Amino acid sequence: MKAIVVREFGGPEVLRVEEVSDPRPGRGEVLVRVRAIGVNPVDTYIRSGAYGIKPTLPYTPGSDAAGEVESVGEGVTKVRPSDRVYVYRSLTGAYAEKALCTEAQVHALAKNVSYAQGAALGVPYVTAYRAMFHKANAQPGETVLIHGASGGVGVAAVQMARAAGLIVVGTASTDKGKEMVAREGAHRVVDHSAADAQEQLMKLTGGRGFDIIVEMLANKNLAKDLTMLVIKGRVVVVGSRGAVEINPRDVMARDAVVYGMTSFNISDHDLASIHAALVAGLENGALRPVVGQELPLKDAPRSHQAVMEPGAYGKIVLIP
Ligand code: NAP
């Protein structure tokens, strides 16, 4: 099979297609014929070698994919060959024609969801659910700001928050992105690149502020976020690409809470619960991953440049 193999950490050019032998499922394992692969910002951090998690070289990147089950090992009861599945993490890496997974790493993909959409699920939807419900404990009727709503995690968070009965404000920096965020469920949308974005956001809440802020770029926004919370408001830091100076008084004065999170810390028990919610949300149509761009697997280097560029529109997926 063809797979992207990284033999040294570095720029996007280290993502090279190679011919490798097909994996074979052992006991409790599932071999998935991959039809689409989700590209996440974290894939680029890991590839660069500058991230906290460094795989042993050589490695095949990626945690998110969708396809059909090709074969199963002894003892597997959850899926059967030809079942449609999405994959969140695998034993051999997602940027490939086939991915070897444990039984727990594959999840049913509803018929109404395309493979490209299935590949958009893993990291973004798991993260959005974790942030919204396990961290912020979002409640119907609350007002949430999805700060960075046009990308993979943001779209997921908008759809979940809307389906759960929250008042949803999202941000994006392009007209296309703003339109999509509104279409996917945000009641109001603001351009986070506008000089008066903070004033616009506060005005939308009638000056009250937000119960919850899901933050995609904390190094830029956290200090301001802390001034936009109601008493007992919560910020969940999902993304950050640098340091930021905050005024702790803004937290004190509001009895506020700042949560950090990384999907790598989610327990198996919590993950199983999150996937159960995602499978149900796909079935009932509340969750509808948005695919903005499809590229062939050989263009993985281009996908790593694109995912770091501004002007997000849902997910970038690779087609093997
Ligand atoms: P993505 O698809 O590339 O989207 C990035 C989002 O950030 C877009 O909505 C973008 O909006 C927005 N953004 C850009 N500048 C912003 C600003 N000044 N203020 C607010 N938002 C801004 O990435 P993603 O997959 O959604 O991930 C978002 C971030 O979370 C990344 O940094 C990623 O590494 C991180 N992340 C963390 C976890 C975790 O476990 N903690 C999991 C997944 C992702 P425009 O392009 O419209 O400007």
Contact (Cβ atoms closer than 8 angstroms) between residue 97 and residue 3: yes
Nearest-atom number in ligand 1 for the CA of 311 is: 46
Nearest-atom number in ligand 1 for the CA of 172 is: 47
Residues 273-302 have a mean pLDDT of: 97
Nearest-atom number in ligand 1 for the CA of 315 is: 2
Residue 311 near ligand 1, beta carbon < 6 Å: yes
What's the pTM value of the predicted model, to 2 decimals?
0.98
Among candidate residues 303, 290, 294, 318, the one with its CA nearest the CA of residue 179: 290
Nearest-atom number in ligand 1 for the CA of 40 is: 25
Nearest-atom number in ligand 1 for the CA of 127 is: 42
Work out the percent of the chain whose per-residue pLDDT is above 70: 100
Q: How far is the CA of 40 from the centre of ligand 1 (A)?
A: 10
Among candidate residues 192, 94, 99, 203, the one with its CA nearest the CA of residue 147: 192
pLDDT one-digit tens code per residue, 25-54: 999 999 999 999 999 999 999 999 999 999
- Residue 84: predicted pLDDT: 98
Residue 263 near ligand 1, beta carbon < 6 Å: yes
- Residue 294: predicted pLDDT: 98
Size (the chain), residues? 320
Residue 320 near ligand 1, beta carbon < 6 Å: no
The residue whose CA has the least distance to atom 12 of ligand 1 is 148
Contact (Cβ atoms closer than 8 angstroms) between residue 185 and residue 162: yes
- CA distances (Å), 226 to each of 147, 198, 237, 250, in order? 13, 11, 12, 6
Q: How far is the CA of 239 from the centre of ligand 1 (A)?
A: 6
Contact (Cβ atoms closer than 8 angstroms) between residue 34 and residue 7: no
Query: What is the rounded distance in angstroms from the CA atom of residue 116 to the CA atom of residue 216?
Result: 23
Residues 98-118 have a mean pLDDT of: 97
Q: What mean pLDDT, rounded, does the chain reach?
A: 98
Look up residue 308 and give its amino acid.
Answer: M
Confidence of residue 170 (pLDDT cuts 50, 70, 90): very high
In degrees and rounded to multiples of 5, residue 105 shows phi and psi of -90, -5
Q: Which helix (H) or strand (E) holds 62?
A: none
pLDDT one-digit tens code per residue, 56-71: 999 999 999 999 999 9
Contact (Cβ atoms closer than 8 angstroms) between residue 185 and residue 168: yes
In the chain, which segments carry CATH 3.40.50.720?
Answer: 124-264
Query: What is the rounded distance in angstroms from the CA atom of residue 98 to the CA atom of residue 70?
Result: 9
pLDDT one-digit tens code per residue, 132-163: 999 999 999 999 999 999 999 999 999 999 99
Residue to probe by mutation, ligand 1, list 216, 228, 259, 263, most atoms within 8 Å of CB: 216
Q: For residue 76, what are its two tokens? A: 């597997």
Residue to probe by mutation, ligand 1, list 153, 219, 307, most atoms within 8 Å of CB: 153
Among candidate residues 236, 300, 234, the one with its CA nearest the CA of residue 14: 300
DSSP state of 47: H
pLDDT one-digit tens code per residue, 208-228: 999 999 999 999 999 999 999
Among candidate residues 210, 269, 256, 259, the one with its CA nearest the CA of residue 237: 259
Confidence of residue 264 (pLDDT cuts 50, 70, 90): very high
- Residue 15: predicted pLDDT: 98
Confidence of residue 174 (pLDDT cuts 50, 70, 90): very high
Residue 40 near ligand 1, beta carbon < 6 Å: yes
In the chain, which segments carry CATH 3.90.180.10?
Answer: 2-121+289-319
Dihedral of CA 172/175/176/179: which sign? positive
Residue 170 near ligand 1, beta carbon < 6 Å: no
Among candidate residues 77, 204, 95, the one with its CA nearest the CA of residue 144: 204
Question: Domain spanning 124-264: which CATH class is it, in words?
Answer: alpha beta
Give strand ranges (E) for 50-176.
Answer: 64-72, 84-88, 98-102, 106-108, 143-147, 167-172
Fold of 2-121+289-319: Quinone Oxidoreductase; Chain A, domain 1 (3.90.180)
Residue 63 near ligand 1, beta carbon < 6 Å: no
Query: What is the rounded distance in angstroms from the CA atom of residue 134 to the CA atom of residue 35?
Result: 31
Q: How far is the CA of 154 from the centre of ligand 1 (A)?
A: 7
